[in-house]
Amino acid sequence: MAFFLASAFLLVLQTYAAPPEFVKAGFGITLDPMDFDPGRPVNGSGDVASSPPPGTSKRAPHSIIIGVRKGGTRALLEMLDIHPEVAAAATEVHFFDWDENYAKGFEWYRELMPYSYPHQITVEKTPGYFTSALAPERICAMNSSIKLLLILRDPAERVISDYTQVYFNRLENHKPVQAIENLLVRNGALNIRYKAIQRSLYDVHMRNWLRHFPLEQIHIVDGDALIRDPLPELQRVERFLNLPPRIVSSNFYFNQTKGFYCIRSDGRERCLHESKGRPHPAVNSTVLQQLRSYLQEHNRTFFRLVKRTFDWQ
């Protein structure tokens, strides 16, 4: 199946040439270290057995990874899956973000969670929650004391990753694509209505969450630091979730070929899924500076809201 998907993907790439900004001498495919294989069931949450393991049950999540899109939510969930006291949902639910799902009720949501033992905590992740206008109030109505995990990366880099994902999705579905500059700039000015930019206004979305949850219930994971050195970030998450320290340095190894850390647990190793390899565009420097300048004030406001700073350009 992997060979078939790879062959089909190459055929699409041959049929639809990439925009000029993707073609540079020596510019190869780079893997996004924030996204692990989304198809692999984690911690038994694939529910493939006809009956649940004895002593397990399905429960509403104790913690939710609320975002941000292209910030590293999949990597964070996969890394948390190393911990024996974490039961992670295998798929994104989009429960609090989609009205059609929310109308199905909390019982429907609970049934989508993995089977877990009494000593385990259940974790769900849906990146769209962070930018949803409705999710904070709805999650609070379900459980006002729930612990929230928010993983963020440099907002300008997040915009480019967001574009890249949409670009390849459209390419694979035979839809027209545009160069990133054509989306970032309209009539000579930065197109602040572009959805990828809107998603990177962290202060705007954080205000909405702080209306319903105290800052102490929202732990922010530095997505850029998670790439460079995952263990310290995971240890902070363990403490936030009141988990005993079980994630250790031997759970990670640096893959020289890929250029980032991969996971080692339960006697096996896993890295990025092959389908995650995507070339990122070389953005016009003037346009990139326009984007960074616009985001600077929003970043400063976000830093004040969360009472900490990040090393963003």
Q: Is 73 annotated as a binding residue?
A: yes
Spatial separation of the C-alpha atoms in residues 132 and 152, rounded to whole Å: 16
Query: Any known ligand binding at 128?
Result: no
- 261 is an annotated ligand-binding site residue: yes
Q: Which of 70, 104, 147, 175 is catalytic?
A: 70
| DSSP letter for each residue of 23-34 | --TT---EE-TT
Strand-pair partners of 125: 65
300 marked ligand binding residue: no
Of 99, 76, 88, the C-alpha closest to 124 is: 88
**Can 104 be counted among the known catalytic residues?**
no
72 annotated ligand-binding residue: yes
279 a known binding residue? yes
**What's the token pair of residue 264?**
């080692």
- Binding site annotation covers 170? no
276 annotated to a ligand binding site: yes
Neighbours of 18 (CB within 10 A): 15
Q: Any alpha helices (H) in the chain, and if so which ranges? A: 2-15, 73-80, 99-102, 106-111, 135-142, 155-172, 180-184, 195-199, 202-210, 223-228, 230-240, 285-306
CB-based contact 273:2 (threshold 8 Å): no
Residue 105 marked in a binding site: no
Annotated binding site for 3'-phosphoadenylyl sulfate: 70-74, 153, 161, 261, 276-280
Catalytic positions, written as ranges: 70
Annotated binding site: 70-74, 153, 161, 261, 276-280
